[in-house]
Amino acid sequence: MRLPIVREIVASTDPNLTPHVEREDTVTWTLSANGSFSIRTAWQALRTNGPEVFWFNMVWHRWHIPRWSFIQWLALLGRLATKDRLRVWGLVNDTSCVLCQGGSESHSHLFFDCPFTSINWEVVKAKCGFVLPSRDLMDEIHWGLIHCKDCSIQSRLFKLCLAASVYYIWKERNGRIFQQIGHDSTSVVRLILEEVKASMTSWRHVSRSATNICLILEWGLSVDLLCTV
């Protein structure tokens, strides 16, 4: 037993174990219930679990789009590489917002103090049936936690539209900075609504309530999405 790994395995083996000489050896992944390897169980074993944030379900809900939620998650943690942070790191001097040309770029400015983004978000939010002024991203999360707790289309839409708005605003900002390609507010809103609508077509178990029927028709989708019972 020259190999340390073999000595280690032997040392950790139950001395009362009686090998079954007629059966083949098999490899078992002990971290999963069925003994099969999975990326999920490996990741769970490797990662360090932090405390769950109170807004977890507003971002990582059943209907979330991973790339939207990821950017929204970074935005809520204040971890996007906004110009105010880049200036602290000595990487830029100019912090002017490329979306409105008037403000200084930070998380709170982009989501949604900026005139460009606040108008966008108000229009998108109205499409969810909520005609309300735009608020700071975290305030929107707080509001959503109170008013969008159920599985109704309106609640699903609010969560998805908020994530999509953060994602496409960040994408528009990056496009203007890195590719010198910009779109007007109407185009950005249209893109957000088109992408959210596309994701809605996969929804199931939507109850046939009057509000849900109105929203389905408002978004130009088929009432076939609604449950028949």
Binding residues vs Zn ion (CB under 5 A):
97, 99-100, 103, 114
| Cβ at position 115, least distance to Zn ion in Å | 6
| Cβ at position 117, least distance to Zn ion in Å | 7
Q: In angstroms, rounded to a whole number, what is the distance separating the alpha carbons of residues 166 and 2?
A: 58
Nearer to Zn ion, 114 or 153 (CB): 114
Nearer to Zn ion, 97 or 166 (CB): 97
Q: In angstroms, rounded to a whole number, what is the distance separating the alpha carbons of residues 118 and 15?
A: 68
List residues bridging with 96 in a β-sheet: 104
Nearer to Zn ion, 104 or 209 (CB): 104
| Cβ at position 183, least distance to Zn ion in Å | 15
* Amino acid found at 113: D
Q: In angstroms, rounded to a whole number, what is the distance separating the alpha carbons of residues 192 and 219?
A: 12
| Cβ at position 125, least distance to Zn ion in Å | 18
Nearer to Zn ion, 128 or 169 (CB): 169
What residues contact residue 204 under an 8 Å CB cut-off, 6+ apart?
225
Nearer to Zn ion, 38 or 186 (CB): 186
| Cβ at position 106, least distance to Zn ion in Å | 10
SS3 for 83-144 is HHHHHHCCCCCCCECCCCCCCECCHHHHHHHCHHHHHHHHHHHHHCCCCCCCCCHHHHHHHH
